[in-house]
Amino acid sequence: MLNVAWVRELDEPTTGEVRGLLLAAREVDGRPEVGQDGPLPGEFSGGLHLLAHADGELAGYAHLDTGGDAFGNQVAELIVHPGHRRRGVGTRLVAELLEKVGAQGKLRVWAHGDHPAAARIAEHQGFARARELLVLHVEAADADWPEPVLPEGVSLRTFVPGQDEQAVVDVNARAFDWHPEQGQLTVAELADTEPADWFDAAGFFLAERDGRLLGFHWTKIHPADPGQFRGEPVGEVYVVGVDPAAQGGGLGKALTLAGLRYLRDQGLGQVILYVEGDNAPAIAVYTKLGFTRYAVDVQYAQ
C-alpha cells in the first residue's frame, strides 16, 4: 500500500528520511549531490514536497518548485528509493504532480541519469524529452592547458565579497537571459553562497576593461565522495558568464582556462562541468580542452 502526502515544510525527522532516500539513490545513480548532514541541496528547498511511504519506509520523494523557472514552468525533482523501483512508485508520483499543477499548468520533471524507467514513465504520462544537461569530465593532471590570452585592454582579478555581487549578477542576467534557471540569480542568492565551505573567492575570476565587468568564471571544489570520481575531491567549472557585448573575442575561453589552471594548481586530479546538450559551440570548446561526456540529466515536459 502506497501512501502519498504533500507537505509545505519538512520537519527534522522527515528531512532525515528524505536525506536517507537521496543518499541511497546516490549510491546507485551517482546523484543527487547530497551530504551526510547539513541542509538538503538547494533544488529541494522551498516549494512543496511530495512523500510516498510504503510499509513505513519512504519509497519515493518529489519536490515541486512552484515558483517556476524563467519561462513559467513548474519544475519537479523526482527520486524513487532503489529498493522500491519498478513497483509503480514513480508513476504514482508523476500522477500526483500532474494533479497538483493542474490542466492549465506547465510541468517539467528532472530525471537524473538517463534511466530507461524514467523514459517509460514519461512516455506513458504524455511527457516529451525537452532538455538534456550533460556532465562533462576531464583528467586535470593530464591536461596541457595554456596560459589564458586576454583580449586587449582586459585585466583579470578575483572576486571581492561585499563589493562585486551586483556587477556579477548584472552580467549573469545578460549572459543567461535564455537559460531557465541561471539567469535568475540574485544578489542575495550569491551572497548566501559566500559562507559555504566550498565558496572560494580566490577561484572566482573577473575580467574587466576600464573598471567594467565583462565576464567571470566561478569555480567550485566538491569534497571527496566515495561513490564518485575515485573518491577524490573534484573541481567544477561552475559558471562561466560573458556579457553578450564582449562575446566573440576569446574572453570566454580565457576565463575558462584561468579557472581550469587554478583548479589543477589546487592539486585536483579531475574537473567536471554541466552544459546544455544543445549548446554545440560550448561543447566544441570544452571538447578541445579535453572534456568528455560523463553523464546526462534529462528534463521531461508536458
Binding-site positions = 78-80, 86-91, 181, 220, 236, 240-242, 247-253, 274
Strand, helix or coil at 67?
A: coil
User: What's the CA gap between 246 and 123, in Å, rounded?
Assistant: 42
Q: Show Cβ contacts of residue 237 under 8 Å, excluding neighbours closer than 6 positions.
A: 217, 219, 256, 259, 260, 271, 272, 273
Neighbouring CB atoms inside 10 A of 30's CB total: 17
CB-neighbour burial class of residue 138 (10 A; exposed 0-12, middle 13-18, buried 19+):
buried
Tell me, rounded to whole angstroms, the distance of Cα 146 from its chain centroid. 27
Q: Which residue numbers belong to the known binding site for acetyl-CoA? A: 78-80, 86-91, 240-242, 247-253
Q: What SS3 class is residue 141?
A: helix
SS3 for 101?
A: helix
